Amino acid sequence: MEITNVSEYETIAKEKLPKMVYDYYASGAEDQWTLKENRNAFSRILFRPRILIDVSKIDMTTTVLGFKISMPIMIAPTAMQKMAHPDGEYATAQAASAAGTIMTLSSWATSSVEEVASTGPGIRFFQLYVYKDRNVVAQLVRRAERAGFKAIALTVDTPRLGRREADIKNRFTLPPFLTLKNFEGLNLGKMDKTDDSGLASYVAGQIDRTLSWKDVKWLQTITSLPILVKGVLTAEDARLAVESGAAGIIVSNHGARQLDYVPATIMALEEVVKVAQGRVPVFLDGGVRRGTDVFKALALGASGIFIGRPVVFSLAAEGEAGVRKVLQMLHDEFELTMALSGCRTLKEITRNHIVADWDQPRVVPRL
């Protein structure tokens, strides 16, 4: 079957992967309302395209924290990629590098920061979970710095793991031939089999529930890397993130895997952008499957977007080639959306290029 869009990879991944693994990647928390909403909310935003503009040249390049990338489409941290494909995070790193964009490596990767760095050049961020043992955290951050990672994406929405019922039913655990590579030498790399989700038990045992805004400050004392706060959904927390010295904000609901019935990230984006007031960049994570989604996020003020599930599903289907193809398809669709909307650069994408169903009735300008 010829793949013509990103979503088709999920069907292939479902056929190829063991049920426990597919369910781990695909499922959300509890009723999975937010999981569906992350996608559906995009369909409540429509375009107001401008016509008769010379769109013979389209420039999608941008800079993120000073790093130039080919497009505002980046790779979100997703855990345990070797469950999807033997090449795991290596393949993802190489695909991102080939596409000229940023990969974020998960703390819970099945390849270490050093291994990913060894795949060759590339701009990489490191996603951080804060463990109860702060020495582990400091060590990990230092290793990421030494391995050439350029920023820390601090996950702030996981003091406890969300209730993912598929993982409970499947008694999810990391397959025995894999480890959480970054923690291997610290005796934290294995996950016990439990009569629940093995990951939920691991998080309950290891992740620090006392994490607070003062720890964002603490992190800045142990690293010179810029810190992105990942998991912000409200204006109030956006304000605190800026005040705490964050270099950027990632609007994320953890792929709808934490608290169910939070809004879709595309719905939460605008209130965060308004508070940030351009002082720090705001990124969107969650639900992006089309180039049109990317455009909508940028029109609402995002500086870029991150994709998660499309990466693991395409990785499962075709390894590195699959991830490359996902990035290429999103690149091409986004470029086409820009052209058909009359935008030649990212700066030309404005709030006036879309209408959302929560907008006030538009006053039609008198001509």
Residues labelled catalytic: 254
Neighbouring C-beta atoms of residue 277, cutoff 10 Å: 10
Alpha-carbon dihedral sign for residues 18, 20, 22, 25: negative
What DSSP line would sit under 56-113, residue for residue? SS-B--EEETTEEESSSEEEPP-S-GGGT-TTHHHHHHHHHHHHT--EEE-TT-SS-H
CA distances from 68 to 64, 101, 176, 180 (A): 7, 8, 39, 30
Q: Angle, nearest 10°, between helix axes 88-99 and 309-341?
A: 20
Nearest-CA neighbor of 338 among 41, 44, 59? 59
What DSSP line would sit under 258-325, residue for residue? SSTTPPPHHHHHHHHHHHHTTSS-EEEES---SHHHHHHHHHTT-SEEEE-HHHHHHHHHHHHHHHHH
- Give residues with Cβ within 8 angstroms of 218, minimum separation 6: none
- What is the rounded distance in angstroms from the CA atom of residue 101 to the CA atom of residue 95? 9
